[in-house]
Structure 1
Amino acid sequence: MPTLDENHTGARIRDQRRLARLTQRQLAGRLPYSYSLLNQVECGARPATADFVAACAKALSIDVTVLTGQPYVTELQRDRLAELIRPIRESLDLYDLGPNPELAVQPAERLIAGADKLCQEVRATHLRSAARKLPGLVADLTHTAWSTPSTRLWQSLASAYRTAHDISVKLGYYDLSAVALDRMDWAAQRASDPCLSAVRQYMRALVYFREGEYRIGQRLVAAGHGLIGQADETREALAVSGQLHLGGSVIAARAENESAVKMHISEARRIAERIGDASDVHWLSFGPTNVALHKMSAAVEMHQYDDALKQARKIRLPSQLATSRRAHFLIDKSRTEMETGHTEGALKSLVEARRVAPEQTRYHPAARETITGLVHLSRRTPDTLNHMATWIGL
């Protein structure tokens, strides 16, 4: 049976608490959680859920990544992923330098197709492949957009910046993801595209969701809706509006505002019934299935695990659903199964998540914490769980 090292999230919470010269009871007094739960998390007997970590970070006045330990340096070095990040970071710094005399102007259609292809690769969770191709594409798009500016080129550059954000988040480089979102806004403004700007507000809202700043997240969702109000009522605008409501639902759930959750889910469902599957719009995966997935995720965030599990068992994922969304559902399902005592089911869901999206699953905080929880709940650790624990570096 694997044993926890001293680099798990609970241990980092304990260390930061001690640095702040707080006892467990003093920190618990600042949290919307019990002293007992804090004690169990610090010793590793219970997983540190995302909302718990966000609350601790806020109470200790530190960044969430100090507690999550992301990026997971040992694993990243072993997988040679860290060397992919530097070129991405450098490519994001080219935005205001104008044309590059060392580059030739590329055909617009090839660059536009390339940006779309990278979005597709990220949704398929081919992170290494997308990360390798991204810096060159950003450099070519930046040079060509400055040399022969057009709305479509600026839109594609904004899309490439969005891909940089997605890759950075999935690998835990949240500082880089914030830079990518700033660049996305810069390009979206040059494209005069309110829908792209609204997508960027949606992604910013999710950043604050991770940080536990739910009021700011809610304001960003509202700002996104304000931008959509400037666009014509097209299928694109409706899909983005629906996705903003889905983002609003999980933020409201984390803030324990159940009435707001119901409102957002209801509005998203209304839009999905009107336009059907719109997963092709900005690669947001919006549609009836994503509404169901977010309703379940909201139940998980509100700790309504029995209800979330009932919903999960009724959800039938269509074959065309993005791999990233499929893996996210399986990770949510595994957490729900663990919390309701279905440990075998939880392990099975994690194994399936690893099968369909190994990179995303390996670096996903919820997957790692659920594996940690399963190790502690198991009197005799199955070989499969041993393998999963070793795989994430436990």
Structure 2
Amino acid sequence: MPTPENGHTGKRIAQQRKLARLTQRELADRIPYSYSWLTQVECGARPASVDFIAAVARALRVDVTVLTGQPYVTQLQEDRLAELIRPIRESLDLYDLGDDPEVTTRPASELTAATEALCAQVRATHLHTAATALPDVITELTALCWRAPTTDLWRALASAYRTAHDVTVKLGYFDLASVALDRLGWAAERASDSRLAAIRQYFRGLVYFREGEYTIGLRLIRSGHAFLDAADASREALTVAGQLHLGGSVLAARAEDASAAAAHISSAREYAGRVGDASRVHWLNFGPVNVALHEMSVAMEMRHYDEALRQAKAIKLPAGIATSRRAHYFIDRARMEMELGYTEASLKSLWTAHRTAPEQTRYHPGARETVRGLVHLSRRTPQMLGVGVHVNVALARFS
């Protein structure tokens, strides 16, 4: 069963609402959800979807993590992941301290290869392995960049900062992830690499996607495009531009701007048609399949669950797709199926996500809320009592 710190998102929403001295009616008037929806979430009768949480966080002017209970510290301690956060934090603080003569570094070529390996490990969802190796890579690259800076070394350091962002986001340390993005911008500027600067804006946009500030997020996406040279038709530049459009599509969907979301998807599809499978270009997973996955996400974020599920069923994930992306697909599919009342199918999708990427799925707030929604459905509907046993087993695994 859930630990007390992770117990009930709806209860935390109620607590923060009361601290803000708002009634349920008053809070409901400030979010794009009904009073009935809010009351059901607060009492635990309905799961708090990620878009609902973002809307409430924005209305209450609190961080999303206050409502979700992230990071899930007890779970992280049990999985021996919490102990890896402090070394990452410390390595991110070395950026402006100059050279440390006590640091012995590996050859530059070896460290550059190590940054590529870290990206691959994150996409394979080997979070413990990546988090363990990351601080030394950052520390050594920082020292080398101060001793004998080159463009390639600054790019490698930027890649390591990107991995720090990816790992800390997946584990729920969003403030630390923002620090990593600041460091990415610092390294990208020294590398004079406009594509890395654009990638940073993409990830900054996703910060505001989580926090419910979609206007700022879309401005960051536009800023990312501005970093790119319009005359640059290289595969790398087109991939980054396409990924920016995918970020814009889900931000526009959350902002309930269907035409803007469709325009972003259309542009991304055009770029994907030109570059093909560019999943390893900056490890952005960009390509035709990822465009299809984002089109599905757009429908889901606009709460068109029937259409989203239809699209999900039509997507054929290639064998070589990143493990992290495969698991994300099944987490999203489980949410759609749960919202439509397909409890057994939703549970099956969650188990598939968990088998595919256990660490990623356990720490994904959407997966956890979907499990709680399934628990409620299994208890409320007599014919689902048999399924309820399996759902409660799932809850124990996710909590």
What's the TM-score, normalizing by structure 2?
A: 0.96
8 Å Cα contact 1:248-1:261 kept in structure 2: yes
- Percent of aligned positions with the same letter in both sequences? 64
8 Å Cα contact 1:92-1:183 kept in structure 2: yes
* Letter of the 2:142 counterpart: T
Match of 2:318 in 1: 318
Match of 1:386 in 2: 392
Alpha-carbon separation, structure 1, partners of 2:304 and 2:322: 26
Match of 2:236 in 1: 236
1:1-394 matched pairs, under 5 angstroms = 7-229=7-229, 232-379=232-379, 380=385, 381-393=387-399
**Farther off after superposition, 369-378 or 60-69:** 60-69
8 Å Cα contact 2:168-2:176 kept in structure 1: yes
Change (3 A) 1:311 1:230: closer
8 Å Cα contact 1:225-1:244 kept in structure 2: yes
Give how far 1:384 is off: 2.7
Give how far 1:154 is off: 0.3
8 Å Cα contact 1:158-1:187 kept in structure 2: yes
Per-residue CA distance 1:136-178 (angstroms, 9 max, x = gap): 0000110111111111110010000000000010000001001
* Letter of the 1:324 counterpart: S
Match of 2:382 in 1: none
Alpha-carbon separation, structure 2, partners of 1:391 and 1:63: 26
8 Å Cα contact 2:2-2:395 kept in structure 1: no
Give how far 1:4 is off: 9.6
* Letter of the 1:153 counterpart: L
Alpha-carbon separation, structure 2, partners of 1:297 and 1:339: 14
Give how far 1:382 is off: 3.6
Provide the secondary structure at the position in 2 that maps to 1:217.
helix
Give how far 1:392 is off: 2.2
* Letter of the 2:390 counterpart: T
Provide the secondary structure at the position in 2 that maps to 1:141.
helix
Provide the secondary structure at the position in 2 that maps to 1:190.
helix
Alpha-carbon separation, structure 2, partners of 1:391 and 1:105: 40
Provide the secondary structure at the position in 2 that maps to 1:378.
helix
* Letter of the 2:251 counterpart: I
Alpha-carbon separation, structure 2, partners of 1:112 and 1:230: 29
Alpha-carbon separation, structure 2, partners of 1:166 and 1:144: 23
Give how far 1:229 is off: 2.3
* Letter of the 2:205 counterpart: A
8 Å Cα contact 1:105-1:147 kept in structure 2: no
* Letter of the 1:60 counterpart: L
Alpha-carbon separation, structure 2, partners of 1:122 and 1:384: 29
Give how far 1:43 is off: 0.7
Change (3 A) 1:95 1:286: same
Alpha-carbon separation, structure 2, partners of 1:62 and 1:382: 34
Give how far 1:102 is off: 0.4
State how many pairs are aligned.
392
Alpha-carbon separation, structure 2, partners of 1:177 and 1:287: 25
Per-residue CA distance 1:178-227 (angstroms, 9 max, x = gap): 10000000000010001111011000000010000000000000000001
* Letter of the 1:219 counterpart: R
8 Å Cα contact 1:239-1:271 kept in structure 2: yes
Per-residue CA distance 1:338-372 (angstroms, 9 max, x = gap): 11111111000000000010000001010000000
Provide the secondary structure at the position in 1 that maps to 2:33.
coil
Give how far 1:3 is off: 8.6
* Letter of the 2:350 counterpart: L
Change (3 A) 1:3 1:88: closer
Alpha-carbon separation, structure 1, partners of 2:334 and 2:231: 39
Instruction: Report the RMSD for the aligned CA atoms in angstroms.
Output: 1.3
* Letter of the 2:96 counterpart: D
Give how far 1:383 is off: 3.5
* Letter of the 2:392 counterpart: N
Structure 1 gaps of 5+ residues are none
Give how far 1:104 is off: 2.8
What's the TM-score, normalizing by structure 1?
A: 0.97
Per-residue CA distance 1:319-341 (angstroms, 9 max, x = gap): 11001110111000000011111
Give how far 1:236 is off: 0.2
**Farther off after superposition, 364-373 or 13-22:** 13-22
8 Å Cα contact 1:75-1:392 kept in structure 2: no
**Farther off after superposition, 383-392 or 182-191:** 383-392
Give how far 1:129 is off: 0.4
Alpha-carbon separation, structure 1, partners of 2:323 and 2:75: 22
* Letter of the 2:187 counterpart: A
Give how far 1:386 is off: 1.8
Alpha-carbon separation, structure 1, partners of 2:247 and 2:29: 29
Structure 2 gaps of 5+ residues are 380-384
Alpha-carbon separation, structure 2, partners of 1:233 and 1:86: 41
Alpha-carbon separation, structure 2, partners of 1:291 and 1:375: 32
8 Å Cα contact 1:195-1:231 kept in structure 2: no
Alpha-carbon separation, structure 2, partners of 1:191 and 1:22: 49
Give how far 1:252 is off: 0.3
